[in-house]
Amino acid sequence: MPADLANLSEAEAANELMRLAKAIAHHNRLYHAKDAPEITDQEFDALVRRNAAIEAAYPHLVRADSPSKGVGFEISASPLSKVTHEVRMMSLDNAFAAEEVEEWVARVRRFLALAEDAPLGFTAEDKIDGLSCSLRYEHGKLVQAATRGDGQVGENVTANVQHIADIPQQLHGSGHPDVFEVRGEVYMEKQAFTALNAAQSEHGGKLFANPRNAAAGSLRQKDASVTAARPLRFWAHGWGAASAVPGDTQFEVMQQISHWGFPLSRLFQRVESVAGLLDHYRSIGEAREGLPYEIDGVVYKVDRLDYQQRLGFVAKAPRWALAHKFPAERAETTLEAIDIQVGRTGKLTPVGRLAPVLVGGVTVTNVTLHNRDEIARLGVRPGDRIVVQRAGDVIPQVVDNLTRDADRPAFEFPDHCPVCGSEAVAEEGEVDVRCQGGLICHAQQFERLRHFVSRGALDIEGLGEKSIAEFMELGWLANGPGDIFRLHTHRDELIGRDGWQEKSVDNLFAAIEAKRSPDAARLLFGLGIRHVGAVTARDLMKRFHELPLLREMAEQARDGDETAQNELASIDGIGPAVIEALGDFFHEDHNKKVWDDLLSEVSPPPYVVETQASAVSGKTVVFTGKLETMSRDEAKAQAERLGAKSAGSVSAKTDLVVAGPGAGSKLKKAAELGIEVIDEAAWAEIVAAAG
C-alpha cells in the first residue's frame, strides 16, 4: 500500500471515495457537457489518481458509481439527439514514466504468454487534444457522426461534421465494407483557436479554455451553421463497428482508412520494441512545440489485431493501448493553507498545502514556501491560485501567484512559535524566523532527537519518528539524547504498550546498546550544532580526535584565545560561521548539560581516519550531479577514506570529477580544464579496488 494510504482507515477510505466520486462527476459534467472546466486537467487527473490508488488498496470499497468505471459524461441534458454506439467508445489508460511503459509491455507479454524474445510490434502516434468522434459509413457513405458521450450513448453530430473538410462524405475507392465506423479526433489548430478566441472576445462571445474545449464547443452545436463557421479538423486513429476489417494489424487497417480519404497523424508509425516506443516518444516530444495542434502524449497500440482481440478491455480502456503522456512540469492549483513547521533549530518553515495536482507525473499536495521573505515575494495567501513547478527530481516550487488582487490582506507570518508559543523572531540580517523556546519547544526537541538517531548521525535502527514521539509523550526523553541510552530502565513499562512486544523492545534496546561507542564525528553531527554538517564534523574530528578537546578549543576561541581561533581556522573547510556556532553552542548552559549527560552514557573512541592506499590517494575529487547509490556525504567520506580530498568546486587543483546525471556547469568546467571525469560506477570500482 502506498505510504500516504497507510494511515487511512477503511471508514475514511469509503468516505473519501464517496467525495471523490461526487467531485469527479461534477468536473466531468463541466468539462464534457459544458466545455467549461473549473479546474485544470492536472488537478482533475490528481483526483482520478487518488481515486484509483484508494480503490486499488480497498478493492471491496469500489463504488457502483465509481469514476474509474465510466467514460466522459452522460449526455441526457444535451440538446442534440442521442446515438447509441454499436461498439462502446473507450478511454485510454495512461502512464507518465518510461518504467510504466515497460511494465505495460511486460503485462501484455504475460497476458499473451509470449516468450521474452517473441516479436511484439506496436503502432505509436501523437495523442491529439481534441474530442473523439465516431463516423459511421454504410456502403462507403457517411450516415452518422457521433460524439463519445458516456461511451455508450453519444450525441448526434451528423449535420455538424458535414462542414469539416477532412471528413469525406463518401469514402474514396471502391469495395467498401457494408458497415465501417471510423473513429478519430475532431480538433482545432492552435492558430485557429487563438483567432477564434480573439473574435469571440470582440463580440462578447464565450471564450474557450483551450483548443480541446474550443473544438468540443464548436462541434456540439444545435445549430450546425455555427459549426460550419469554425475551423475544425479531423484525423483518424481507429475504428469501431465493422462488417469487415481490412487488414490483420492496426497499421494495415489505418493505411486502408487513409486510402479511403482520411488524414492520419503524420507521426503515425509502426514500432518493433519498447525501446522503439520510447524513442518515438522522445522524438514526438521534441516535435511537440512546432506542431500546429496541441498534443498531450503518445498513444501506443499493440499492432496485431488477433492480440488486441485476446487482450480485450478492462473497466473503461483497452488493455492493448496506452497513452504515454508528457508530464506537465508546471501546473495551476489552489493554495489551500499555509502551515508552519518548526525545525530542529527552531526555524519556522512555511509549508503550502495544495489542492492535489499532477505535476511532472506525480501528485503534489505540499510545497515548501521556504521563509517569510519568499511568501512576501510571491504575495501568496491561502485561497490563491498558484503555479507549481516540478522538473525532474527537483522538489516542487511555487513559481507564480495568479491571484493578484491587492485588496486581500497579505499573509501574516507568525511572530510566535505555533508549537510552544514562544516568541519567534528573525535575527538581524537573517531571513529565517526562529522559535526562541530552545529546548522547552517540543517541536525542536523532537526534531533534534530525530536528527540524532538519523542515518547520517547515530543511525539507531528501529528508533523512528513514531517511537520518539511516543517516548517524548511519556516523558522519557526530557533530558535530551542521553535519555535514549536510559530507555532500558522503562523496559517493563514499554512491553505491553500498544505495538510493543518483548521482542521488538529488546531489539530496540540492542540497537541502542550497539551505539555505546559511536563514531565521534557522527555523534558531533548528531548534536545538530548550526553549520556543523556531516563533513564539517569529520573535518573537526580529524584534527581534534576527541570530543572534549574540540569543546575546549571552541570555548577558548569564544573567549578570545587567538591560538585556539587560529587552530580552528586553519582546518580546511572551517570558516568563521562554524567557529562562531561552536562557541555559541558551548556557551549555553543547557547545551553543556546535554553534552555532559550524553558523554556520561557513551564513549566514542578517539577519531582516526584510517586511509587506504588507493588510486586516488592524495588527489582532489569533486562530486557533481545526482548520485544514485549513495548520498553526497557518503561519497565524500569514501574519498577521505581513500586518502583523497573532496572539494566543492572544480578548479585547476581538481584531479578527478565524479559526475552523475544532471551534472551541469561543473562538468563543463572540467572539460575546459581537461580534468578526468568518471561516472558513479567507475568510482565504485575505485572504492572496491582499495578493499
Ligand X SMILES: NC(=O)c1ccc[n+]([C@@H]2O[C@H](COP(=O)([O-])OP(=O)(O)OC[C@H]3O[C@@H](n4cnc5c(N)ncnc54)[C@H](O)[C@@H]3O)[C@@H](O)[C@H]2O)c1
Residues annotated in the binding site, as ranges?
A: 41-45, 91-92, 125, 148, 185, 301, 325, 417, 420, 435, 441
Give the nearest distance from C-beta 51 to ligand X in angstroms. Answer: 13
419 contact, one of ligand X, Zn ion, none, CB 5-8 Å limit per kind: Zn ion
What is the maximum alpha-carbon separation in the chain? 101
CA 508, distance to chain mean position in Å, is: 33
Which phi and psi angles does 635 have, rounded to 5°? -60, -45
Question: Closest CB to ligand X among 184 and 346?
Answer: 184
Give the nearest distance from C-beta 359 to ligand X in angstroms. Answer: 13
Stretch that binds ligand X, among 40-48, 154-162, 513-521, 558-566 (CB under 6 A): 40-48
Q: Cα separation of 584 and 51, whole Å?
A: 51
Q: Cα separation of 260 and 265, whole Å?
A: 15
The reply to whether 303 sits near ligand X by the rule CB under 6 A is no
The reply to whether 254 sits near Zn ion by the rule CB under 5 A is no
If you search the block for the grid coordinates 535575527, which residue do you land on? 427
Residues 151-190 vs ligand X: string with x where CB under 6 A? ----------------------------------x-----
3-state DSSP call for residue 358?
A: strand
Q: Where are the beta strands (DSSP E) in 370-429?
A: 385-389, 397-401, 424-426
3-state DSSP call for residue 242?
A: strand
Q: Cα separation of 12 and 173, whole Å?
A: 60
C-alpha cell at 525: 553531527
Applying CB under 6 A, among 35, 55, 74, 125 the residue interacting with ligand X is 125
Question: Closest CB to ligand X among 154 and 396?
Answer: 154
List binding-site positions for Zn(2+): 417, 420, 435, 441
The reply to whether 44 sits near ligand X by the rule CB under 6 A is yes
Question: Closest CB to ligand X among 332 and 640?
Answer: 332
| Residue 31 region by backbone torsions, left for phi larger than 0, else alpha for psi between -120 and 50, else beta | alpha
Alpha helix stretches (DSSP H) within 240-304: 250-259, 274-287
Stretch that binds Zn ion, among 331-339, 361-369, 417-425, 450-458 (CB under 5 A): 417-425
Residues 506-535 vs ligand X: string with x where CB under 6 A? ------------------------------
Applying CB under 6 A, among 8, 33, 39, 453 the residue interacting with ligand X is 39
Using alpha carbons, select from 78, 72, 62, 58 the residue that is nearest to residue 21.
62
Euclidean distance between the first and the last CA atom of the chain, given in angstroms as a whole number: 40
Q: How far is CA 49 from CA 5, 33, 41, 44, 295, in A?
A: 13, 22, 12, 9, 21
Contact 155, 80 (CB under 8 A): yes
The reply to whether 323 sits near ligand X by the rule CB under 6 A is yes
39 contact, one of ligand X, Zn ion, none, CB 5-8 Å limit per kind: ligand X
The reply to whether 55 sits near ligand X by the rule CB under 6 A is no
- Give the residue numbers marked as catalytic: 127
If you search the block for the grid coordinates 457517411, which residue do you land on? 142
Residues 332-351 vs ligand X: string with x where CB under 6 A? --------------------
C-alpha cell at 341: 513547521
Which residues ranging from 224 to 283 are in contact with ligand X (CB under 6 A)? 237-238
Q: Cα separation of 469 and 476, whole Å?
A: 10
List binding-site positions for NAD(+): 41-45, 91-92, 125, 148, 185, 301, 325
DSSP state of 426: E
If you search the block for the grid coordinates 503518445, which residue do you land on? 298
Q: How far is CA 339 from CA 354, 414, 445, in A?
A: 11, 10, 19
The reply to whether 217 sits near ligand X by the rule CB under 6 A is no
Contacts of 464 by beta carbon, 8 Å cutoff, 6+ apart = none
Give the nearest distance from C-beta 187 to ligand X in angstroms. Answer: 9
The reply to whether 91 sits near ligand X by the rule CB under 6 A is yes
Question: Closest CB to ligand X among 130 and 350?
Answer: 130
Give the nearest distance from C-beta 584 to Zn ion in angstroms. Answer: 18
Give the nearest distance from C-beta 245 to ligand X in angstroms. Answer: 17
Sheet containing 348-359: order of strands: 362-368, 348-359, 330-342, 385-389, 397-401
C-alpha cell at 3: 505510504
3-state DSSP call for residue 297?
A: strand
The reply to whether 27 sits near ligand X by the rule CB under 6 A is yes
441 contact, one of Zn ion, ligand X, none, CB 5-8 Å limit per kind: Zn ion
How many CB atoms neighbour CB 518 within 10 A?
A: 20
Applying CB under 6 A, among 21, 35, 41, 525 the residue interacting with ligand X is 41
The reply to whether 578 sits near ligand X by the rule CB under 6 A is no
Which residues ranging from 416 to 455 are in contact with ligand X (CB under 6 A)? none
# residues near ligand X by CB under 6 A: 24
Residue ranges binding Zn ion (CB under 5 A):
417, 419-420, 422, 435, 437, 441
Residues that bind ligand X (CB under 6 A): 27-28, 30-31, 37, 39-41, 44-45, 71, 91-92, 94, 125, 127-128, 132, 148, 185, 237-238, 299, 323
